[in-house]
Amino acid sequence: MGKARLLATLAPAWALAAGCVQTGLIGLSDGDGGSTDGGGFTVGAADAGRDAGCPSGETACGTGCTNPSTDPMNCGACGTACAAEQICSGGQCVCPAGGTFCRGGCTSLLTDDQNCGACDRACAAGIPCEAGACAGGPTDAGPSDGGTTPGGDAGPDDAGTADAGPAPRCGPRQTDCGGVCTDTETDPNNCGGCGFVCPDGTCANWTCPCATGDAGYVVLAADGGQPYDLAVGGTSVYWTDQVAGTVMRVGVNGGMPVTLVDSAAISPSGLFSPDYLALDSTDVYFVNQDDDAVIKVPLVGGAPVTLATGGGAWPFGLAVDQAYAYWAIDTTGEIQKVSLGGGAPVTLVPASSTNQDSTYLAGVDATSVYWSYTGSPGQSNGAILKVGLAGGVPVTLASALDYPIAGAVDGMSVYFTEGFGIDAVVEVPTSGGEPVTLASGLNWARGLAVDGSSVYWAGGNTCSTGCGPSTYNGTVMKVGFGGGPPTVLAACLRSPYDVAVDSTSVYWTDLYGGTVSKVTPK
């Protein structure tokens, strides 16, 4: 989904690399009843003046007053509810002392063999988790104990050697692939990522030479343009194409593509560059880059309806729930929403003087909106944040990140890419905590999507002109929530860009190949 402004930013390293928003369809109306600010936008219900009549330190939420620093039903902001086992402390949902919130609830990373040292890091069957590490690692064998003493230190009564402890961190530009540190730029057995084996044993610049395209996937449509964002819903795949100026649909098994919207339906001048895309059960929602508008059209086709215009402020990312469409403003850091029926945009998070680098919307769940501030490449000043659906004070979930681009939300975690080379796929719990790197050593990962067990993305350089199949090194990959070597689902692609998933397949756009494809099974 990276657009012209982002592409210009990344041009020195790669002409096209970005993270893509996968939208959530779950959500609740927040009914915030905000007021209009001086700029003509409606500010969410957490704006100044709404706490009149409440005691000091409390906030008006609904019909009563509460303390958002401690109220687990309104933690940090009205409507932000903590999970059943969590408490609200300092305006953040946290587990009781010593606990960490993982997919199964609050647990101890020191002893949980399904979340050993980090969420979703499971020990092998029958292996316990001890002090945050799976038991059975290197041990000593000194003469005083005649065998093994896990954790034993060499001393007067023990001539054995101390445990080796955790494996050493891999050096710069190296990746831990199955316990072995390697350089995925040149390793033919881990080329461009762990587990990607080059058939001819040659890997250079994260690239396997490809004599022909990969035959393991199905091309659903070839629209002749440059397909960007896509989403899958029901029996169809939907995408936007900026060059062709269209919003398209095709069946999940292929067939004749259908044009839902073209430039003639939007702008008499023909200025129409559809961008980010989202779906609900009745409509397709998209951003028109040329007038910064959020527009919808029925899934079956029909007249497009403009829900909101940005007035020169470019929406970055798009997500919908049952009542609203949400987006971020690229250069100001604002988070906004509008009713699915249209109306005045509501500002959930106002413009920030300190967070005006690129802002990417990740998505929404039943309580919050999630996004990233990228910061500056190499400066580790990016962050992942959230705010309640009614607005309020943003909560930082992770900070000191290197150019994070938020990509997907699943109700438990926010998934994003990190690094200006976009060389890692990372997750952080929606309640906050230590980010977990699921895959690293990647080559321009982008277009994240998630299902109940894995994260999916596209990667590799793109090839716009003057290239042939032997230079294609694009891939579509996945990794499980516990991390580990990624699985390559499709390889030797020209320029895979955005990714979506359903219960059986992975779908992607190919930016310069002008195609929409899928691979089954996923």
CB 310 within 8 A of CB 293: yes
Paired tokens of 41? 């936008």
CA gap 132, 236 in Å, rounded: 45
Question: Does 35 have pLDDT greater than 50?
Answer: no
Band (454; pLDDT cuts 50, 70, 90): very high
| Residue 386, CA distances (Å) to 83, 201, 234, 418, 429 in order | 16, 45, 29, 18, 11
Higher pLDDT, 426 or 59: 426
CA–CA dist 239, 229 (Å, integer): 6
Q: What is the pLDDT of residue 79?
A: 73
pLDDT classification of 419: cutoffs 50, 70, 90: confident
Give the model's pLDDT for residue 336: 94
Q: Is residue 430 a contact partner of residue 397, using CB atoms and an 8 Å limit?
A: yes
Kind plus residue range of the DSSP H or E element containing 74: none
What's the whole-number mean pLDDT along residues 429-458?
92
Give the burial class of 186: count Cβ atoms within 10 A of its Cβ; 0-12 exposed, 13-18 middle, 19 or more buried: middle
Q: Give me the pLDDT at residue 53, please.
A: 81
Q: Is 200 exposed, middle or buried (0-12, 13-18, 19+ CB in 10 A)?
A: exposed
Q: What is the reported pLDDT for 468?
A: 63
**CA separation for the pair 265, 23 (Å, rounded):** 25
Task: Summarize the confidence of residues 56-81 as an average pLDDT.
Answer: 84
**46 Cβ neighbours under 8 A, 6+ residues apart:** 32, 59, 77, 78, 388, 390, 391, 392, 393
Q: How high is the pLDDT of residue 263?
A: 80
Query: How does residue 205 score in pLDDT terms, banded at 50, 70 and 90?
Result: low
Residue-wise pLDDT for 472-520, tens only, equals 778 899 999 988 888 888 888 888 999 999 999 999 999 888 999 999 9
Residues 278, 307: Cα–Cα separation, whole Å: 14
Work out the percent of the chain whose per-residue pLDDT is above 90: 37
Q: What H or E segment, with its residue span, contains residue 10?
A: helix 4-10
Q: Are 217 and 517 in contact (CB under 8 A)?
A: yes
Question: How far apart, in Å, are the Cα atoms of 221 and each of 90, 249, 476?
Answer: 51, 9, 17
Q: For residue range 237-248, what is the model confidence (pLDDT) as tens digits?
A: 999 998 888 999
Question: In 3D, which of 65, 56, 76, 11 has the Cα closest to residue 431?
Answer: 76
Does the pTM surpass 0.85? The reply is: no
Mean pLDDT of the chain: 77
Is it the case that residue 448 has pLDDT exceeding 90? yes
Residues 333-358 have pLDDT tens digits of 899 999 999 999 999 999 875 555 68
Cα separation of 334 and 511, whole Å?
29
The string of pLDDT tens digits covering residues 159-180 is 333 333 444 456 666 777 777 8
The pLDDT-based confidence of 271 (bands split at 50, 70, 90) is low
Question: Average pLDDT in the 363-373 region?
Answer: 95
Report which of 449, 438, 428, 329 is spatially closest to residue 385, judged by C-alpha positions. 428
Considering the chain, what percentage of its residues have pLDDT values greater than 70?
72
Bridge partners of residue 296, in order along the sequence: 285, 305
pLDDT of 32 > 80? The answer is: no
**Is pLDDT of 139 > 60?**
no
Q: Is the pLDDT of residue 390 over 70?
A: yes
pLDDT at 437: 94
